[in-house]
Amino acid sequence: MDDKLKKLESAALKALKEASSPDELKNLEKKFLGKSGEITGILKGLASLSIEEKKSIGKAANDLKKTLAAKFKNCCNKIEMEHLNKTLESDEIDLSAPGRKHHIGHIHPIAQTQEEVERIFGQMGFTVIDGPEVESEYYNFEGLNIPAHHPARDMQDTFFIDKAADKKEGRLVLRTHTSPNQVRTMEKYGAPLRIIVPGRTFRNEATDASHEHTFDQVEGLMIDENISISHLKGVMQEFLSRLFDKEMKVRFRPGYFPFVEPGIELDMSCIFCESKGCKVCKKTGWIEFMGCGMVHPNVLKAGGIDSEKYQGWAFGFGLTRLVMMRYGINDIRHLTGGDLRILNQF
């Protein structure tokens, strides 16, 4: 019996040495160690032996089973590694090849500046409001004290939408400014109010370096009891100083917009020459920044706000122009033309 075990051991070891694939190895394991394998056969045959033989042969057979099991395991690992290496070589995967580059996009300079504007006004307690780009004539004009035959309508050459007019709100237009949201917000929230409305606006402009049919504005509106124009000056001076990260000054000139009274043009100190006078500010030290003024009582009325109790101011500036100044871009078409060679620089 001992002899038989010895022969079995050397046969198994020899076969292991010669095995070259995981499949072959599996078959050998079955043959020697499996349920109906050779060693199990010997262990099963123990029943017919004497007690002495049972003890010695049983032990020897079990020892052999353990040794062979360990050897199979080692061999199995080795063969699997070899097999894997061979597959990798023949599959032509070049592990040393450089990876594919992922192009990560970035925020458009107009949106970057919009976020900055929202952040600063947010810190000053203003809520950011959104409004429709396709507006009604009513909110774009009438509600803002610009009746149908008022010459002020000519200030903003408008795109009309080809759709039947609504009895109450008139025709549909692409909003020519963000101001329609003054009345919209008053109707929705009432007074007091402290809001900004950034967004796209549209005018039928001939395109050149400083005009586009599509551009971005930011509307501002503050309504409360005892609000005066000095609050507007303070807010704008603070906003511009935070945006440009330096002490900024503003000045008022008279301006005309039917929805404010008095109407004001606000200039800011020239950021390019520290107000000494340069080409951009035409040697004045000031740059035109926005239209603003005290909200006209007719507009408060349209928004359902008691103009005896409340008053306030509104402003509207061109976000696109602000971006151009901020980044020194001299042609508006660079921002809207979608040329990545330009946009990728910001």
Question: Which residues bind to ligand PHE, rule: CB under 6 A?
Answer: 177, 179, 257, 260, 291-293, 314-316
Q: Is 145 left (phi over 0), alpha (psi -120 to 50) or beta?
A: left
Alpha-carbon distances of 295 from 70, 217, 263, 265, rounded to whole Å? 91, 18, 9, 14
Q: Which is nearer to ligand PHE, 61 or 264 (CB)?
A: 264
Q: Rounded to the nearest whole angstrom, what is the least distance from the CB of residue 334 to ligand PHE in the complex?
A: 22
Long-range Cβ pairs for the range 285-288 (8 Å, 24+):
286/251, 287/325
Distance CA(92)–CA(171), nearest Å, equals 66
Q: Which is nearer to ligand PHE, 3 or 154 (CB)?
A: 154
Q: Rounded to the nearest whole angstrom, what is the least distance from the CB of residue 196 to ligand PHE in the complex?
A: 11
Q: Rounded to the nearest whole angstrom, what is the least distance from the CB of residue 154 to ligand PHE in the complex?
A: 13
Q: Which is nearer to ligand PHE, 223 or 260 (CB)?
A: 260
Q: Which is nearer to ligand PHE, 217 or 269 (CB)?
A: 217
Distance CA(180)–CA(187), nearest Å, equals 11
Q: Rounded to the nearest whole angstrom, what is the least distance from the CB of residue 320 to ligand PHE in the complex?
A: 12
Q: Rounded to the nearest whole angstrom, what is the least distance from the CB of residue 255 to ligand PHE in the complex?
A: 7
Q: Measured between alpha carbons, how far apart are the two ends of the chain, in Å? A: 86
Residue at 153: amino acid letter: R
Q: Which is nearer to ligand PHE, 109 or 293 (CB)?
A: 293
Closest chain position to ligand PHE (CB): 316
CA atoms within 13 Å, Cβ hemisphere of 333: 6
Q: Which is nearer to ligand PHE, 61 or 292 (CB)?
A: 292
Name the strand (E) or helix (H) holding 115. Answer: helix 109-123
Q: Which is nearer to ligand PHE, 177 or 233 (CB)?
A: 177
What 3 state SS string does 190-218 have? Answer: CCCEEEEEEEEEECCCCCECCECCEEEEE
> Which residues lie below 8 Å from residue 19, measured CB to CB, with a gap of 6+?
25, 28, 75, 79
Contact (Cβ atoms closer than 8 angstroms) between residue 176 and residue 156: yes
Q: Rounded to the nearest whole angstrom, what is the least distance from the CB of residue 275 to ligand PHE in the complex?
A: 24
Q: Rounded to the nearest whole angstrom, what is the least distance from the CB of residue 103 to ligand PHE in the complex?
A: 37
